[in-house]
Amino acid sequence: MRSLMRQAFQISCCCLIKIALQTFNLFYRLNYYYIAYRSAARRLFSASHTTVDLKEVKKFQLLAHKWWDEQGEYAPLHSMNDIRVPFVRDTLLNLSSDHQLGSPLSGIKILDVGCGGGLLSEPLGRLGASVTGIDPLEDNIRTAEQHKSFDPDLDKRIQYKSCSLEEIAEESTETFDVIVASEVVEHVADLETFISCCYQVLKPEGSLFITTLSKTQLSYVLGIVVAEKIMGIVPDGTHNWEKFITPEELERLLESNGFLVKAVNGMLYNPFSGSWSWIESTSINYALHAMKSKAQEQSSSREPPSEAEEEQHPARANTSTTV
């Protein structure tokens, strides 16, 4: 009888150990799958929040060595400097009374997002600014580095880095006085993340300058059909109309992300003279200036410029009143 009871006890102990081991195994597996799921979800989540659209960036790969060919595919960006550089310079000069003759932007830290070959970084550096140019495409950065090395003064003032805006935002907060993103937002993957990263890396009351194409029928006809397909001013396929944005929509996005939009100016490219001019209409190309607002100002609307400001600042005199 006793040996029977001992056997029954041993069997039940074995069963209990087996059940415990199976339960442990089950929990172990569940935990493994849970961790694997979490890391995959995290990867997917961060990938969906990158601002870099690889398909868009690839468009610039083949021409990465042609940035400084003034007669080549980037000719319109070279001539855009004639109006965008004074726009940035004069707006910044109007915001501060303290500037050095000959080096008016000295002491100002500028982040040039999507700098390409450095066509805008260089003139801003020549005006005395300390410029960080970033671009996701390494070949663009190589071209930009090589070109700035021809001018020893620029070498000190400009640094280039191949990375995304969100990588800069991960490592720095409230670092730059100014951000320029010229002809870039129409190529990014997630514009809201792009703008919130700009907000993060800008110092309080810092300035953001954007130039881009509006989303209208006219911009489709002139910016894509005429410029790309008929006249070949820029390579076919450079632009995707779906990614264009109207100034009104961009203003809304900026203002809901803590910016105050100060100016929106229409721009027009004349393909025959190869030059740009300011125009009233913002239905094709436009340049926008916004400032990072103090927290309590976030939802207020754009301030109309004073008469004195308009006199001092010819670009702002063209400010559209479309909103």
The answer to whether residue 92 forms part of the interface with ligand SAM (CB under 6 A) is no
285 binds ligand SAM (CB under 6 A): no
Cα–Cα separations (whole angstroms), residue 207 to 17, 80, 94, 177, 289: 68, 20, 12, 6, 7
110 versus 188: smaller Cβ distance to ligand SAM: 188
Is 166 annotated as ligand-binding? no
Is there a binding annotation on residue 116? Answer: no
Nearest distance from C-beta of residue 230 to ligand SAM, angstroms: 20
Q: In this chain, which stretch among 21-29, 49-57, 285-293, 296-304 interacts with ligand SAM, using CB under 6 A? A: 49-57
202 binds ligand SAM (CB under 6 A): no
The only residue of 89, 116, 191, 250 in contact with ligand SAM, by rule CB under 6 A: 116
222 touches ligand SAM (CB under 6 A): no
Sign of CA dihedral 23, 28, 31, 37: negative
Please identify which residue in the block is written with the tokens 């990938």: 47
Which helix (H) or strand (E) segment is 248 a member of? helix 247-255
Does residue 282 touch ligand SAM according to CB under 6 A?
Answer: no
| Residue 183 or 293 having the CB closest to ligand SAM | 183
Q: Three-state SS across 131-182?
A: EEEECCCHHHHHHHHHHHCCCHHHHHHEEEECCCHHHHHHHCCCCEEEEEEE
199 - beta bridge partners?
none
* In contact, 148 and 174? CB cutoff 8 Å: no
Cα–Cα distance for residue pair 165/161, rounded to 1 Å:
10
- The smaller minimum CB distance to ligand SAM, of residues 119 and 260, is found at 119
Residue 258 near residue 199 (C-beta atoms within 8 A): yes
Binder of ligand SAM out of 188, 195, 290, 315 (CB under 6 A): 188
Check whether 183 is labelled as a binding-site residue: yes
| Interface residue with ligand SAM, options 91, 130, 132, 140 (CB under 6 A) | 140
Residue 186 annotated in ligand binding: yes
Please state whether beta strands 158-161 and 176-182 pair in parallel, antiparallel, or not at all (unpaired).
Answer: unpaired
Report in angstroms how near the CB of residue 119 gets to ligand SAM at its nearest: 4
Residues 54-73 that bind ligand SAM (CB under 6 A): 56-57, 60
Tell me the sheet residues that pair with 178.
110, 207
Q: Are residues 186 and 285 in contact, defined by beta-carbon separation less than 8 angstroms?
A: no
Which residue number, 56 or 177, has a Cβ lying nearer to ligand SAM? 56
Q: Does 187 bind ligand SAM (CB under 6 A)?
A: yes
Q: Smaller CB distance to ligand SAM: residue 60 or 269?
A: 60
Label the pairing between strands 275-279 and 259-270: antiparallel
Interacting span for ligand SAM (CB under 6 A) from 134-142, 242-250, 259-267, 300-308:
134-142
The span from the CA of 88 to the CA of 208, in Å, is 9
Those residues with Cβ within 8 angstroms of residue 120's Cβ, 6 or more apart along the chain or in another chain: 81, 84, 85, 112, 180, 182
Q: Which residues are annotated as a binding site for Mg(2+)?
A: 183, 186-187
Contacts to ligand SAM by CB under 6 A:
51-52, 56-57, 60, 77, 113-116, 119-120, 135-137, 140, 164-165, 182-184, 187-188
Q: Which residues are annotated as a binding site for S-adenosyl-L-methionine?
A: 84, 114, 135, 182
Q: Which residues are annotated as a binding site?
A: 84, 114, 135, 182-183, 186-187
